[in-house]
Amino acid sequence: MSSAQKLIKKYTAIKTLPHVVTRLSRLLHNDKATMKDFEDVIKMDPTLVVRLLRLVNSPFYGLRQHVDSISRAVAYIGMKNLQNMAVTDALKNLFKRESSSTIFSRKKLWLHCAAVSICSKMLAERIFAINGDNAYLCGILHDFGLIVEEQVAESAFLQACAACGPAESLPEYERQFLDTDHCEIGHLLTLDWEMPVTIQEAIRDHHTLSDDRDPASLAGILQIAEYITGQFDYAALPGSRPQLAPALISHLQENADEYKVLIDDFPEEINKAMEIYA
């Protein structure tokens, strides 16, 4: 058993994503799943039901008639949006208990993941003209491995955080102190949760500065989103400065005008999300 698997085993003995999240993920990949199957799972989580109905009846959707049934609400927002909402709610609750450390803050990590997820969706849709649902899911899950490390190997994890300089790679120090890193842990978890392979690979590779990184890949989008949100002080660790693969730097320079518009709109998109998930 690898070091990553050992940490995951310890963590899942304490807490993992709620059953509703893993059930929804598996239903999305089941061609025989019906709307009733989804409705039965959603009913298990009253908080998710409230969030779902509040969202579908918000000005964002602008519906003339009030929606009060789960099945109709899901039909309006879509299955992938539902999954993203469930994962976001679940992670927000896991990040609630604040650490006493001055090096690491769960609140800061939550804000980082939320900001990266929103920025990733914007990048996918506005820059690359592709569906942004998987990019959002990537963003919200990409640093989940840090929570696992902090909960089951806190001392070694905080040592890794303390040793990591602002422009250095945290995974390098995680491997030194924990014999694994949050990218490997996140990859194994998303594999177990039956997330799409592209999401699994993006989470595994989001700190890898590959010379041939495709900007439109989920890993490329994730790296760019971390870089942009870092400029707004949404970094996972205080003072850290996310790095970009050379191919992504060239891409940003070649598309500077489009990125300027996206960056100008980013604060408004953050505010919209906070209204839903605050």
CATH of the domain at 146: 1.10.3210.10
Highest mean pLDDT among 82-86, 100-104, 237-241: 237-241
Q: Tell whether 59 is covered by a domain.
A: no
Cα separation, 273 vs 263, in Å, equals 16
- Which range of residues forms the domain containing residue 244? 3-16+100-277
Is 79 contained in some domain?
no
In a domain, 180, yes or no: yes
Q: Is residue 231 part of a domain?
A: yes
In the chain the first and final C-alpha atoms are separated, in Å, by 39
With respect to residue 203, please indicate whether it lies within any of the assigned structural domains. Answer: yes
CA-based torsion, 262, 139, 146, 18: positive or negative: positive
Does residue 171 lie in a domain region?
Answer: yes
211-215: long-range contacts, CB 8 A cutoff, minimum separation 24: 211/245, 211/246, 211/247, 212/247, 213/245, 213/247, 213/248, 214/247, 215/128, 215/247, 215/248, 215/251
Q: What is the band of 266 on the pLDDT scale with cuts at 50, 70, 90?
A: very high
Where are the strands (E) in the chain, listed by range? Answer: none
Q: Does residue 68 fall inside a structural domain?
A: no
266-275 long-range contacts, Cβ below 8 Å, gap at least 24? 266/118, 266/119, 266/122, 266/228, 266/232, 267/232, 269/118, 269/119, 269/122, 270/114, 270/115, 270/118, 272/60, 273/114, 273/118
Q: Give, in degrees to the nearest 5, the angle at Cα 34 between 28 and 36.
A: 115
pLDDT one-digit tens code per residue, 29-46: 777 888 888 888 777 777
Q: How many domains does the chain have?
A: 1
Whole-number Å distance between alpha carbons of 181 and 184: 6
pTM for this predicted structure: 0.82
- Rounded CA-CA distance 138/125 in Å is 14
Give tens-digit pLDDT for 125-177. 999 999 998 999 899 899 999 989 998 899 999 999 999 988 888 999 999 99
Examine residue 264 and state whether it is found in any structural domain, yes or no. Answer: yes
The CA distance from 250 to 243, in Å, is 13
